[in-house]
Amino acid sequence: MSNIREVARLAGVSVATVSRTLRSPDRVLPQTREKVNTAVKQAGYRPNLMAVQFRSQKTGNLVILVPAIANTFFAQVISGAQRAAQAAGYRLLLCDTQGREEVERQFAELVYAHQADGVIQLRAYDPFETATSGAVLPPIVNACEVISNGRYPTISLDNLAAAKALTTYLITLGHRRIGLIKGSRTSPLTLDRLAGYRKALREAGIRFDKELVCHGDFTLNAGFIGASKMLAMAHRPTALFCENDEMAIGALKRIKEEGLRVPEDISLVGFDDIPMANYCDPPLTTISQPAEAFGERAVEMLIMLIEKKPLPARHVVLPFEITARGSTAPLAIV
Amino acid sequence: MSNIREVARLAGVSVATVSRTLRSPDRVLPQTREKVNTAVKQAGYRPNLMAVQFRSQKTGNLVILVPAIANTFFAQVISGAQRAAQAAGYRLLLCDTQGREEVERQFAELVYAHQADGVIQLRAYDPFETATSGAVLPPIVNACEVISNGRYPTISLDNLAAAKALTTYLITLGHRRIGLIKGSRTSPLTLDRLAGYRKALREAGIRFDKELVCHGDFTLNAGFIGASKMLAMAHRPTALFCENDEMAIGALKRIKEEGLRVPEDISLVGFDDIPMANYCDPPLTTISQPAEAFGERAVEMLIMLIEKKPLPARHVVLPFEITARGSTAPLAIV
């Protein structure tokens, strides 16, 4: 690789001028800029961008912390984020954190290491939780699941309202024993969905039965195991609400193995509307989330923070809708 | 945030000593190191890692170029890579390139910008193709789909052998009209699989019929559309080979819509063995690839290159196996 001295020689200027042109092109004359740029190309010179960026204090990199890369809901969020980052001339660096706090902190530190300009966190854990209240926090946007300390701008779904709407939909079909296969026990998102489920029951005058609630981890296998428990009950539910589509697809396999039919013997709903939800048999009734919009909006807001522009709103709530497909039916009167 | 001067004051050493301790801890006395580290914690000081790394010329970051984040096969590769990177103390930065060359080049440039120490490419495109033969290339490992210019260490599957084995499996079940739903028209991986399919036919004395081959892009929808074409033929195939599981699941939906049964009316196979392959109805017969091992081995080899250790082998071929499930059956004699 050629060096800056060769560029200076070819351009007929000093090394300092080449350096200034690369760092702050606006501060040199247009004809100098042109001479230097031509020489850079001619010499095949790659400026040490790190040295340049070290001075400008900007990297052009955004970090997004993803709890589960294998979850296709997040894949859609990423796809939207990537499109927005690219349109704005930023590089999006994805970090597979498996939802582990120490890994999230480690990746978020890229900002302190001046290797990224800002962070998007998709989970309710504050990777800068140890920073004292007086500390200057880096640009960060929190999307999907909300961190409760109020430090950051957020983009979220009203999970309580969505879970309530979906439960009410099942109640309207005549179901009163509705099993709930939850995500992890303590995540805010899953607690909100549980609250929505309970609120719908309460408003319909149906007693909450904690036997009808079990916990999973949003995987296919968790749905399979959750359904096993539900189907083993003496008085089994006539409908199952799984807190994501992957678990619903796992439950579907188990229900069929038991020789039961969906929706004739048991109705089944998921959450997210991942592409696979329309390809299982029967296709799933579910809550459609604007997954790509989560990513797009998060990147747009983060760039505003980085570029010190005012945010139109600090807390954005995106809309949901119920997508009814073949996995739900009115309760058969026996 | 406190600064290096405060650390020096607390530790009772000079600023230069603090700086040397952070940069090259091995080059100061243990008691000095301890005093400085204690003061760093006490002051809540975060050294400007970029400045430190600028001098040591190492970032601790690895870049992995992923053609399709939404494809769960790649999600498994990433999971293996992430585990290996973490175990070795490196940060893995995932880049969603959508298989677009200009995006791949842009992310690979992180190495030239000294923001990453090396690159893993999962697709047959050389992001440094414009570098002249004399140029010093950064550490790079090529996994999954092989770049043909021979510049880089590779980890691959014998796609020809795997496709041949799977086609022969269908032939052994009595099938002679076997439709092939390919990936994109020109990718090396999909050309290898086509060659394997043709070789199996040839060895069984079955004439190759180009009408039985169509092209897709590895998505659910591509499988759905491919199956539509196959089923519309006057003399339709009795078995379908889809070059990945997503396309097979897409095809499965279309076959059922037509009122046909898998495997009674038509056998169906995929490729990859993603988790969903075992959850569709019927579960898919497919080629199991050691997806996580691709990621693990790629990271291990990349770190050896970065740390200038000799590679035990420059080209690694990982094994495959046929996983037979419910989507295939012997051809019914009419």
- Chain A stretch 250-309, residues whose beta carbon is closer than 8 A to a beta carbon of chain B: 250, 252-253, 256, 275-276, 279-281
Judge: A115–B61 Cβ closer than 8 Å, yes or no: yes
Residue scoring higher pLDDT (B166 or A14): B166
The C-alpha of B111 sits at a distance from chain A's nearest C-alpha, in angstroms, of: 10
Cα–Cα distance measured from residue B20 to residue A92, given in angstroms and rounded to the nearest whole number: 33
Find, among A8, A15, A13, A17, the residue nearest to A40 by Cα: A8
> Is it the case that residue B54 has pLDDT exceeding 80?
no
- Assess A195–B contact: CB distance below 8 Å, yes or no: no
Task: Please provide the distance, in angstroms rounded to a whole number, between the alpha carbons at the two ends of chain A.
Answer: 80
pLDDT in tens, A258-270: 999 999 999 999 9
Question: At a CB cut-off of 8 Å and minimum separation 6, what does B72 contact?
Answer: A70, A72, B246, B274, B275, B276
Query: Which of B49, B71, B96 best probes binding to A when mutated, by most A CB atoms within 10 angstroms?
Result: B96
Cα–Cα distance measured from residue A116 to residue A118, given in angstroms and rounded to the nearest whole number: 6
The mean pLDDT of B42-66, rounded to a whole number, is: 70
Residue B64, both tokens: 């992995």
In B, which residues are within 8 Å of A44 by CB distance? 132
pLDDT class for B55, splitting at 50, 70, 90? Answer: very low
Q: What is the pLDDT of residue A55?
A: 47
Query: Which of B41, B55, B69, B103 best probes binding to A when mutated, by most A CB atoms within 10 angstroms?
Result: B69
A239-242 β-sheet, strand order = A213-215, A178-182, A239-242, A267-269
Judge: A275–B92 Cβ closer than 8 Å, yes or no: no
Q: Are strands B321-323 and B286-288 parallel, antiparallel or unpaired?
A: antiparallel
pLDDT in tens, B174-183: 999 999 999 9
Quick one: CA torsion of A104, A217, B88, A106, rounded to 10 degrees?
0
Judge: B78–A98 Cβ closer than 8 Å, yes or no: no
Judge: B1–A51 Cβ closer than 8 Å, yes or no: no
Q: What is the pLDDT of residue B8?
A: 84
Residue scoring higher pLDDT (A34 or A119): A119
Indicate the residue type of B311: L
Q: Give the one of B1, B70, B115 whose C-beta lies nearest to A59's C-beta.
A: B115
Model-level pTM? 0.83
Least confident of A2-16, A113-127, A178-192: A2-16
Find, among A227, A271, A228, the residue nearest to A246 by Cα: A271
Find, among A72, A111, A106, A137, the residue nearest to A277 by Cα: A72
CA distances from A98 to A27, A110, A293, A324, B175 (A): 45, 18, 22, 31, 43
Judge: B279–A70 Cβ closer than 8 Å, yes or no: no
DSSP structure string for A221-240? HHHHHHHHHHHTSTT--SEE
The C-alpha of A243 sits at a distance from chain B's nearest C-alpha, in angstroms, of: 18
H helix runs in A129-187, sequence order: 159-172
> Is it the case that residue B238 has pLDDT exceeding 70?
yes
The mean pLDDT of B37-54, rounded to a whole number, is: 63
In B, which residues are within 8 Å of A49 by CB distance? 109, 112-115
Q: From B278, which residue of chain A is nearest by alpha-carbon distance?
A: A253
- Assess A83–B contact: CB distance below 8 Å, yes or no: no
pLDDT class for A50, splitting at 50, 70, 90? Answer: very low
H or E stretch covering B40:
helix B30-43
- Chain A stretch 125-164, residues whose beta carbon is closer than 8 A to a beta carbon of chain B: 132, 135-136
The mean pLDDT of B9-36, rounded to a whole number, is: 80
In A, which residues are within 8 Å of B49 by CB distance? 109, 112-115
Q: From B49, which residue of chain A is nearest by alpha-carbon distance?
A: A113
Flag whether the ipTM exceeds 0.85: no
Question: At a CB cut-off of 8 Å and minimum separation 6, what does A301 contact?
Answer: A141, A153, A155, A311, A316
